[in-house]
Structure 1
Amino acid sequence: MLTDHNVQSVSPELLERFHAPGSFLLLPGVEVSDRVDGRPVHLNGLGVDRDMAPQGGRDVPDAIDRNRAAIEEAGGVAVLNHPNGLLRAALGSDEIAASGIGLFEVCCADYLGGSGHPSTDQIWDAVLTGGGHVFGVAADDAHDFGADSRDPGFSWIMVRAAELTGPAILNAIRAGDFYATTGVALSSVRPLANGLCLDIDDYEVYGFRTEFIGPEGRVLLSDETREPCFRRPAPPDYVRARVQRSDGAVAWVQPVLFGDGR
């Protein structure tokens, strides 16, 4: 999937060159690029096949919500981009929670935080701990395609869809049936009634550490096997997993919510 600022990204020429039904699917998209009180508010519209103008808003949560609604009306899936990619204009977890957005970038070109700003992992846990429900997406946010650029293909999502079609992939993303990664491969993600289990499918030369994370960002269990699994008779409000490979690559697994109808 390709996106660009406020314009639909996939031309007929690109489709003719790369689209191969049954083996390679190129989906359109647009990065709706808004600004509120001097702060950038960008949302990707996955699957949107037309140009889109930013909708504005009275504040950041309102702008996120208005642009989300416009993307969904156009048949797309809305993702809040780089919440701390520009630290001088980072978005707060309270603003993200208030917007009601269902997906945000847990990994893009910048995600670790610093200088008094939280990482995207910390933002994610703050939203989830407060009762929000948001899935974490990864994208490369590539703007430089020179020979020495690290951006293209820096991070992506692995989607479990019934078939290689646009509707099937977009529906799986809406449902959170995917994981985000910078290179770690998982062969199985199994949400349970009382936990979460994974199977890591990756090169034998690497080591792995999986952290199962719960409310307030607490690490509930650290597992260094290739079949990490978290189970509790009385699980916390949520658990998600972060898999770190010994070369620095990471995978983020979507939260499983427990209790109170969550």
Structure 2
Amino acid sequence: MARFFSFFLFSLNLAFAHTQIPAEEGYFWYRGNTHTHAEYSDNSEINDVPMIARWYREAGYNFLLLSEHNNHLLARKIFCYDRLSRPKENFIMICGLELSMSRHITALGIDRFLSGEKSLQEAVNMTLASGGVPILNHPMDPVVTARKFIETEGLNHIEIVNGGRLTDTPASIALWDSVMSEPGGRIIYAVAADDNHYNRQRVGRGWIMVKAKSLTKSEIRESIRSGNFYPTTGVILDSYMAEKDSFHVISQNGDTIKFFGRYGKLLGTQAGKDASYRFRGDELYVRAEVSNRQGKTAWTQPVMVKGGTNQ
């Protein structure tokens, strides 16, 4: 196995400025939020969307998805706010909705207004058919079981941090591990997001750092689709990479690094900003969790380990 994830050094002071943060080989890092709401809807003439976009732009975000509930916009049918993008300031709006007529998912990067979904599977299918990426939102509210997730074809992203339900994070992480560990399971990518309901104080509870060649809607969408990002509540990763026999993580501001495998089994803990884990071959997958004394955490996406099986 040789799968590389490189997250290169950038200063914590510079990370959230409106700039393209260099990664490697022509790539850059972009900070973004995928789950945000506005008061503006079919039942409200208060157009607070420009104000909310400004909050995130001023907080140093590079992209924002205004994921309003689709059942709140059946008359307006709004799903994109391109006019609020500021490319010269390295800030763009991503098209999308929160499909809410069955089980809530973010439909990220879609090319049309979506409605009428009657099930989780139908919501996922509609999102994929419109070119988007489906993300299961707040998986504990209501609870989606690992078996239900596995049986939902095309669903490969899960919100493990929801800014409005932070106490659900441990259970959401447990579900993430279960989906990857149970028979028929698969690699799933974790997302952190604010789920902000027009409250400036809730900006920055959780976000993702996306590696892409440029700050465009298509580049950001496809990087998220392929898992080329990591979720965080404030810990910044310098790099993490999986090589033939080991997994190495370096952080900017972490002080404890834990490695996890099948069903969330703790494989090892090391103090400091960087750590390595040597594969045994039976882990199925390995992911790292990097935390600090300020209560902030970042999660790497999982890496499959050659020789592991969940059959």
CA distance in 2, matches of 1:12, 1:259: 43
Measured in 2, the distance between the counterparts of 1:222 and 1:259 equals: 22
Would the aligned equivalents of 2:255 and 2:273 in 1 still touch at CA under 8 Å?
yes
1:227 to 274, 285, 291: 274
Per-residue displacement from partner, 1:98-143 (whole Å, max 9, x unpaired)? Answer: 21310010111225449xxx61111111111113221101110011
* Matched length: 235
Q: Does 1:55 align with 2:112?
A: no
Of 126, 134, 154, 1:78 maps to 134
Change (3 A) 1:242 1:141: same
Deviation for aligned residue 1:233: 4.6
What is the rounded CA distance, in whole Å, between the counterparts of 1:22 and 1:168 in structure 2?
A: 17
Does structure 2 retain, via aligned residues, the 8 Å contact 1:64–1:80? Answer: no
8 A Cα contact 1:23 1:164, kept in partner: yes
2:247 is matched with 196
Give the fraction of aligned pairs with identical amino acids, expressed as a percent: 30
Quick one: which amino acid aligns to residue 122 of structure 1? A
What SS does structure 1 have at the residue aligned with 2:269? strand
State which of 126, 131, 147 in structure 2 corresponds to 1:94: 147
CA distance in 2, matches of 1:132, 1:70: 21
State the TM-score, normalized to the length of structure 2: 0.70
2:80 aligned residue: 10
1:187 equivalenced with 2:238 (yes/no): yes
Q: Distance in 2 between matches of 1:235 and 1:153?
A: 37
Cα offset for 1:223? 1.5
Aligned to 2:302: 255
Cα deviation code 1:164-202 (max 9, x no counterpart):
222221111111111000111112121223332221023
CA gap 1:183/1:256 in 2 versus in 1, 3 angstroms: same
The residue number in structure 1 matching 2:18 is none
Q: State how far apart, in whole Å, the 2-side matches of 1:12 and 1:256 are.
A: 35
Q: Could you say what secondary structure the match of 2:239 adopts?
A: strand
Report the TM-score when normalising by structure 1: 0.82
Whole-angstrom CA distance in 1 between matches of 2:244 and 2:92: 34
1:216/1:135 CA distance change after superposition, 3 Å: same
Distance (whole Å) between structure 2 residues aligned to residue 199 and residue 212 of structure 1:
13
Matches within 5 A, 1:173-184: 173-184=224-235
2:158 to 98, 104, 107: 104
| Higher relative contact order structure (alpha carbons within 8 Å, sequence separation ≥ 6) | 2
Distance 1:23 1:14, change over 3 A: closer
Q: Is the 8 A contact 1:33 1:54 kept in 2?
A: no
Residue number among 20, 25, 32 corresponding to 2:87 in the alignment? 20
Instruction: Quote the Cα distance in structure 2 between the aligned partners of 1:25 and 1:235.
Output: 42
The secondary structure found in structure 2 opposite 1:69 is helix
For 2:23, the equivalent position in structure 1 comes to none
Q: Deviations over 1:31-60 (max 9, x none)?
A: 11123xxxxx1111111243210411xxxx
Structure 1 outlier segments of 4+, above 6 Å: none
| Backbone CA RMSD of aligned residues | 2.2
